[in-house]
Structure 1
Amino acid sequence: MSLKLKTPLMRNSLMVILLVLFSLVSIFTGVQEVSFMNLFQLSEVQRLVLISTRIPRTISLILSGSTLAICGLLMQQLTQNKFVSPTTAGTMASARLGIVVSMIYFSQSSLAQKTGLAFAFSLTGTFIFILFIRTIKNKKAVMIPLVGLMFGNIINSLSSYLAIQFEVVQNTSSWLQGNFALISSSNYQLLFLSFPLFGVIYLLAHYFTVMGLGKDVSTELGIPYATLEIIGIALVALATSAIILTVGSIPFVGIVIPNLVSLKQGDHFGKILMPTAFFGALFLLFSDVLSRTLIYPYEIPISVIIGVIGSVLFLYLLLRGESK
């Protein structure tokens, strides 16, 4: 009995320790040498680098990784498909289209207005995807994300056409690849939207868990399925828009992390919510450290690193799913 009580505690403690260790590695990795041993003897330049870039970057990595992983988990729960995420549901692509439209037609708009427009497009695109997959007869696990990828590519093509047509390609290129290199103390605050969004998801975790049983069962148990589905999609769309506006498009996190966590800890949404957030943050921290050290002192966009690692893990999950 005591062993069962200790095991989750030990697991959670290990996750916290790993998160702290990777956060420290992230903070003290970079071109400008900032040593942990000399933390209280830093020069003015080192102190400025630490406060204005390193710490905001690490916080951004933690918030983005955990949020993307949770969004993927929530979308998989709502669609009852393990390979659906903001990447494979057209959510990210729709948010990018909203940003392009805002830059073309509302170039003087504020960050809040751009966020609102990106959210509106992201929400609309995700709902179109959800409605579309309900008409598909072949609902094999692999078919749904493939349809989502094609849908996303169509939207991306429209975004590229508009960007070229109105000569804003250079201004929109930063949203094509995720990159934390430009994060500073003045431009990452939008990511703090993750806290209230995660709070809402945590409070509704029980209902989202029941929704995994299907619409008919959930309705019989008194769950307002349609309302919660709208709330869940809206939360994902808003979180995705905030991340894209801040750091750009980050692929695969919402697919591979929830799946890898569920392989070890089961499919109960409420129970794997926190581990998914932790491992999403760890995955992004690890990938970012790699992006800064592989060709040091130069830096590879983190989306390239995650694209390589994520595609391998995604292929593994696909093959594993097909073999069952």
Structure 2
Amino acid sequence: MQALRPVAEATGSISGLGRPGRSARGAICLCLFVLMLLAGLSCVIGVNQTSPLALLQDPEAAQLLLISRIPRTLAVILTGATMAVAGVIMQLLVRNRFVEPGTTGTNEAAMLGLLVATLLAPALPIFAKMLCAAVAALLGTLVFLALARRIPPQQPLLVPLVGLVYGGILAAAAGFIAFQADLLQYLAIWMSGEFSGVLSGRYELLWLAGLLAGLAYLVADQFTIAGLGEMASRGLGLRYGQVLGFGVVVVSLVSALVIVTVGVLPFVGLVVPNLVSRIMGDNLRDSLPVVAATGAGLLLICDMLGRLLRAPYEIPAGTVFGLFGAALFLVMLLRRPAHG
């Protein structure tokens, strides 16, 4: 981490880098307050009652809260926050607002690595399979970055198009392998991000993703400067290659952890950074906590809607967020940004 520290004189004068401003601290407190309210509401929504009165009268309600509701709520918060952070890091490194792990082949590469690990060594523990998925995601992301470097900067829309084609090729390869090995049902589960199977003892890997998001915040200033481009970053004294490598590792590990635990969740890393950037700008020291809290809050809302719309059945949170995220992203494309 020492090598990633910026030159203080170079970074301190750019867009107020350093400690979050007063307005940013107010936005962070507001987001955390709303997130706490949503988390409390998520713990009481479901088929079985877990209201305070039910907790006092029924011991099984308290057990349900500790084993299922609280772990599920924490898993949703960690997933939404870390995927939003991974999305904003990817956008700054590629310098394109239309990319996220789902449009760069990162998710598909992670699924391919997880599928190969399942076929070759089905007895591997879940942590080892996660490492295989992370290595595959890392390699897939590096290939995409190499492809993105060959795209003219005057054609920003080509970057996500190339990423979609590249991801489609990886997804087709994974589908072919899964069809040959009769594992299509497992692939379908990984493609559908949902939290109904989250219980105590089956989501704790997501805390590692939360730790990675916290490490990303420690070097938020470096990511902000890296978003200016390689030449400008090196001119300001930033070790661009190390920051790029650290960002790719964070994105790859977060994507692998989320896919192994809950599956693919589209649009979280695409919509949330763009939404926050319209209001707060691109200084990650100010905006990254808001990005994380907004991603967690929106995913919590979608998860609760999935539990309520067809109760007592559930709609996967990834499906609900996919519909909501696509509509919101179209609105943002058609409207002019509020932040100059």
Q: TM-score range by the shorter chain?
A: over 0.9
Q: Distance in 2 between matches of 1:6 and 1:270?
A: 12
Match of 1:11 in 2: 27
Residue 218 of structure 2 is aligned to residue 237 of structure 1: no
User: Residues 231 and 290 of structure 1: is their aligned pair in 2 closer, same or farther, counting only changes over 3 Å?
Assistant: same
- Give 1:221's match in structure 2, choosing from 236, 247, 256: 236
| CA deviation after TM superposition for structure 1 residue 86, in Å | 0.6
Q: Paired residue for 1:29?
A: 45
TM-score, L = length of structure 2: 0.90
Which residue in the other structure is 1:166 paired with?
181
Q: Describe the superposition over 1:35-64 as per-residue Cα deviations: whole angstroms up to 9, x where unpaired.
A: 13444x041321221111100000000000
State the shift of 1:318 in Å.
3.4
Per the alignment, in what secondary structure is the counterpart of residue 103 of structure 2?
coil
Letter of the 1:61 counterpart:
V
Contact 2:42 2:73 in 1 (8 A): yes
Residues 142, 318 of structure 1: 8 Å contact kept: no
Kindly state the Cα deviation for residue 66 of structure 1 after the two structures are TM-superposed. 0.3
How many residues align? The count is 319
1:246 to 261, 265, 280: 261
Separation of aligned partners in 2, 1:75 and 1:42? 49
1:126-176 per-position Cα deviation (integer Å, ceiling 9, x unaligned): 110010011123643322112111111111111111001011222332101
* Range with greater deviation from structure 2 (48-57 or 195-204): 195-204
State the shift of 1:6 in Å.
6.1
Letter in 1 for 2:260: L
What do the CA deviations read for 1:241-297 (whole angstroms, capped 9, x no partner)? 001000000000000000000101111122111100010000110000000001111
2:164 is equivalent to residue 152 of structure 1: no
Q: Identify the residue that residue 73 of structure 1 maps to in structure 2.
A: 88
What SS class does the counterpart of residue 232 from structure 2 fall into?
A: helix
Task: State percent identity of aligned pairs.
Answer: 36
Matched, 1:200 2:200: no
Query: Who is 2:8 aligned against?
Result: none
Quick check: 1:113 aligned with 2:128? yes
- Summarize the Cα distance change of 1:150–1:320 in structure 2 as closer, same or farther, 3 Å threshold: farther
Structure 1 pair 245–29 and aligned structure 2 pair: CA distance change class (3 A): same
Provide the rounded CA distance (Å) in 2 between the counterparts of 1:124 and 1:204: 23
Select 1:264's aligned residue among 272, 275, 279: 279
Range moving further from structure 2, 5-14 or 65-74: 5-14
Distance (whole Å) between structure 2 residues aligned to residue 291 and residue 231 of structure 1: 35
Q: Is the 8 A contact 1:83 1:142 kept in 2?
A: yes
> d(CA) in 2 for partners of 1:128 and 1:259?
24
Amino acid across the alignment from 2:186: N
CA distance in 1, matches of 2:260, 2:232: 38
Q: How far did 1:194 drift?
A: 2.1
Structure 2's unaligned 5+ residue stretches are 1-20
Unaligned runs of 5+ in 1: none
User: Helix, strand or coil for the counterpart of 2:98?
Assistant: coil
Distance in 1 (CA, whole Å) between partners of 2:195 and 2:178 is: 23
1:32-111 alignment runs, 5 A limit: 32-39=48-55, 41-111=56-126
| RMSD across aligned positions (CA) | 1.9
How many angstroms does 1:199 deviate by? 2.5
Name the CA distance, whole Å, in 1 between partners of 2:106 and 2:98.
Answer: 14
Where has structure 1 moved over 6 Å in runs of 4 or more?
A: none
- SS across alignment from 1:87: helix
- SS state at 1:189 partner: coil
Q: Tell me, in whole angstroms, the C-alpha distance in 1 between the residues paired with 2:54 and 2:60.
A: 13
- Corresponding residue for residue 125 of structure 1: 140
Aligned residue identity for 1:35: S
